[in-house]
Structure 1
Amino acid sequence: MAHRIPPLRSGHVLDLLQGSRDYFPALVDAIDAAHGEVWLETYIFDFTGASAEVAWALERAARRGLDVRVVVDGFGTPAVPPEWRLRLLGAGVRWRTFAPTGPLSVLSPSSWRRLHRKLCVVDGETGFCGGVNVLDDLHDPNHGALPAPRFDFAVRVTGPLVQEMRTTMLTLWQRMRTFQDLRHGDLGGALATIRGTRAAREQPPPRPSSLPGARAALVLRDNLRFRGAIERSYRRAIGRAREEIIIANAYFVPGRKMRQALVTAARRGVRVVLLLQGRYEYFMQYYAARPIYGALLRAGVDIHEYSPSFLHAKVAVIDGRWATVGSSNLDPLSLLLAREANLLVDDAAFAAGLRTRLLDAVQHEGHPMLAAHYERRPLRERVFEYIALGVMRLALAVQGKRRYW
């Protein structure tokens, strides 16, 4: 159960959205057309630039009397500007923070389990899933204005999966309410919420759909029922690849099994192309990735680093048909600790659209990492790599995840 990969189901219309430039207008249009409810989960909810348009849309929906719920992560969104908090709460938006942080939170291993998924469901009919936060493409909370748009993707979905997305979000909402009731000593309220959560989770599985449209599945990672499903879905697709694997991933520090799967695929003649972060963002993720490159380069994997702006994508296309778009990085924080959500897709047209955008980025915006250049990298970089990887391994050891390596 902990590693179950859900079956692909037909009947979906999928629209690939690149960055906030595509995602925000589609999201705002859906919210403005809503007639019943808007539920949103995101790691970061920022209010700078174009992201404010999403906040305005949520306020408008709440003032029309809709059920508007927003869940943000306590680390990704530590604070909301006071003026926006007053506007949203005054309009009736129900806003909750997952795992709020304090000054010493980083010292608690349990605080590393974050809500990193990005989901939205409107009226139970239209869903959004991907890696794009409510954050303007040209703004970064830590680095300020960006020289070029952040490279990222989301998907707009209609079809059977939207109800699965809604149930997933309802389960988290009710679970957070349970903990809130317990903190306030309301045992009766907590028990009632638990019963509601169990009922929502134990709905009979949807019947297979024979509707036309793309085949897709929602695959989750949490610390209860779906602890390894996303990683396993990647490894299964990589193991079945016959011609080509293209992966774009922001924080790429895969575990032993994933690394071996990529090496094995390259050695059996599969073209393996990785588009990875080439612009410094966070010390640990940036430098811990570098020691991984050596074995991959020796096996014939093509590695390209994206540097016009921050690479934030978590996507892949395999053999021109299988594709995934979601929130999960290929690093231990995502694969072992955070709550994540990815869409798996089996559809040639959708995969072709994503493949075209990735190869364009590889060819025009990626810098190839050559094996000879990698072997000659400066001692200073190697020291930073050693420190970053050591810190990451220590963090995993504290979490009891030594087997990842």
Structure 2
Amino acid sequence: MHSRWIEGNDIRLLENGEEFFPRVFACIANASKEVVLETFILFEDKVGLQLHQVLIAAARRGVQIDLTIDGFGSPDLSDDFIGSLIDVGVRIHVFDPVKRLLGWRVNVLRRMHRKIVVIDGEVAFVGGINYSADHLADFGPAAKQDYSVEIHGPLVAEIHRFTHMALAQGHRYQRPRQWWRNRSSVRNNVQGQPHVGTAAATLVIRDNGHHQGDIEKHYRIAIRAARKRVIIANAYFFPGYRFMRELRRAARRGVDVRLILQGEPDMPIVKIAASMLYRTLLGAGVRIYEYCERPLHGKVALMDDEWATVGSSNLDPLSLSLNLEANVIIRDRGFNQHLQERLEHLMRHNCKQVQREDLGSLHGLELVRSFVAYHFTRRYPAWASWLPRHVPRLLPALTDRLRPVLNHGGKE
């Protein structure tokens, strides 16, 4: 774990698409030099089409644009959608593009799950919000609850450097190097950025090379250091043994530990295992709140009065052991307090607190199923390291009408 704390940042919490999309689209509309954007999901709906429009407009006025999407998360973009971006010079990169096998998507594991935007090297966005209409309340009961941050200050240079390293390494098809190398040049870039706020912050990534456990380690260190409170809101919560041990220890030493989790998990194994997970945590004094208003997609947390994190990483086997993820970790009292207020509002108005008596008792086959699912899910992060690792391949997006040209030496 080699992340560096950088002082002097201004970091603003953005809640849901209503706050996130207008800010990102406005910054892209004002871009003069460059836009680098990574996302797991880009759908061709009203949000994706609005992004499409602002990217095309920026490219036409000479802005260099690199758009990276995941081959599993964004599989159904039309030739017209992609081709019109390529026509104006947008460089589209696809992580792990694999053709369907008998109609099934087989590139399920090790996804590019990051959501990052850097504009002109001056402003960055990091979080969990994808470019799809289901992040807006008017989508209906299935609209997602989620978060991102807008960043100004010296940390932007670090995020900017990381996005370019990811592009370069991906197209060379090599295993990730330590992206903070050449520290002198990074340090010079950071020193050239003005201090604009009070937040110290760091970008923490998870990859399949040198940073396989960094995000989880930051969580565990912060939980171990907590003396007053731990609040975690996470859509898919099934961490490994060490993470669970730190939570139980914190609660037993008197820390107010609260979890905001999905009321209706969408994976059957999680539903089965949750009963034992809840029993283990409640028995140690952890308070659990199920978010019932709509699907929870957030990946945020805070500890005590200063530490907070917002990012793309769930606390489950996929995010902790397989996916490419990015979180920003922040030390700032003002940000921590604002996030705490928003999460406490969620718990008061949109959550149901789980009580021990609500769980009932487990008997027979139900007990066996819960036990097996619980221990499989918690041990899976360790087992996942045995699975084959994708080198983070990036390929240029192609449309059917462009492939013949490219195959005969045409320019991208």
The interval holding the TM-score normalised by the smaller chain is: 0.7 to 0.9
Name the % identity.
Answer: 36
SS at match of 1:95: strand
Q: How does 1:8-27 map to 2 (within 5 A)?
A: 8-27=5-24
Give the match for residue 127 of structure 1: 124
| Cα deviation, residue 114, structure 1 | 1.1
CA distance in 2 between partners of 1:240 and 1:398 (Å): 28
Moved over 6 A (4+): 105-108, 197-200, 207-210, 377-381
Q: CA deviation at 1:281?
A: 2.5
Q: Which residue of 2 aligns with 1:76?
A: 73
Alignment map for 1:289-304 (pairs within 5 Å) = 289-304=274-289
Q: Which residue of 1 aligns with 2:242?
A: 257
CA RMSD of the aligned region, Å?
A: 3.0
**Contact 2:133–2:139 (CA under 8 A) maintained in structure 1:** no
Among 321, 345, 360, the alignment partner of 2:345 is 360
Q: Distance in 1 between matches of 2:286 and 2:15?
A: 26
Paired residue secondary structure (1:112):
coil
Q: CA deviation at 1:397?
A: 3.3
In 1, distance between residues paired with 2:156 and 2:116?
10
Tell me if structure 2 keeps the 8 A contact 1:277–1:286. Answer: no
Q: Quote the offset at 1:8 in angstroms.
A: 2.0
C-alpha distance in 2 between matches for 1:138 and 1:225: 32
Equivalent position SS for 2:72: coil
Q: Secondary structure at the match of 2:13?
A: strand
State how far apart, in whole Å, the 2-side matches of 1:199 and 1:293 are: 38
Which letter does structure 1 place at the counterpart of 2:32? H
User: Partner letter of residue 397 of structure 1?
Assistant: W
Q: How big is each residue's C-alpha offset from its partner over 1:214-266, in whole Å with a ceiling of 9 and x where there is no partner?
A: 11111111111211111111011101111111100000001101000000000
Give 1:298 shift: 0.3
Q: Do the aligned residues in 1 keep the contact of 2:240 with 2:381 (CA within 8 Å)?
A: no
Counterpart Cα distance in 2 of 1:98 and 1:14: 29
Query: How far apart, CA to CA, are the structure 2 residues paired with 1:298 and 1:89?
Result: 56
TM-score, length-scaled by structure 1: 0.85
Q: Aligned with 1:257: secondary structure?
A: helix
Deviations 1:253-286 (CA, angstroms, capped at 9, x unpaired): 0110100000000000000110001124233445
Contact 2:215 2:327 in 1 (8 A): yes
1:335 correspondence with 2:320: yes
Aligned pair 1:41/2:15, yes or no? no
CA distance in 1, matches of 2:42, 2:132: 6
Identify unmatched segments of 5+ residues in structure 2.
Answer: 388-412
What whole-Å deviation, never above 9, does each CA across 1:317-337 have from its counterpart, x for those lacking one? 111211000011111211111
8 Å CA contact retained: 1:129, 1:342: yes
- Helix, strand or coil at the partner of 1:50: helix
Match of 2:187 among 170, 193, 206: 206
Distance 1:394 1:221, change over 3 A: closer
* Cα drift, residue 289 of structure 1: 4.2
Amino acid at match of 2:21: F
Alpha-carbon distance, 1:387 to partner? 6.7
| Partner residue, 1:231 | 216
Alpha-carbon deviations, 1:21-52, whole Å to 9, x = none? Answer: 11100000100000001010011111223342
- Are 2:242 and 1:242 aligned? no
Q: Distance in 2 between matches of 1:319 and 1:260?
A: 19
Task: Output the CA distance in 2 between the equivalents of 1:355 and 1:268.
Answer: 21
TM-score normalised by the chain length of structure 2? 0.84
Secondary structure of the 2:201 match is: strand
* Structure 2 residue identity aligned to 1:348: R
In the superposition, relative to structure 1, how do residues 396 and 244 fare at CA in structure 2: closer, same or farther (>3 Å)?
Answer: closer
Secondary structure of 1:234's counterpart equals helix
Q: Which runs of 5+ in 1 are unaligned?
A: 180-189
Give the equivalent residue in structure 2 for 1:397. Answer: 383
How far residue 87 of structure 1 moved from its aligned partner, in angstroms, is 2.0
1:273 matched to which residue of 2?
258
| Pair 97,288 (structure 1): closer, same or farther in 2 beyond 3 Å | farther
Write the distance in 2 (CA, Å) between the matches of 1:380 and 1:80: 44
1:75-94 residue pairs with structure 2 within 5 A? 75-94=72-91
- Go from structure 1 to structure 2 and tell me whether the alpha carbon gap of 1:199 and 1:213 turns closer, same or farther (over 3 Å shift): closer
Structure 1 CA distance, aligned partners of 2:325 and 2:349? 30
For residues 111-159 of structure 1, give each alpha carbon's deviation from its aligned partner in whole angstroms, at most 9, with x where no partner exists. Answer: 611111110100111100011111223579xxx9531641110001011
Kept after mapping to 1: 8 A contact 2:206/2:212: yes
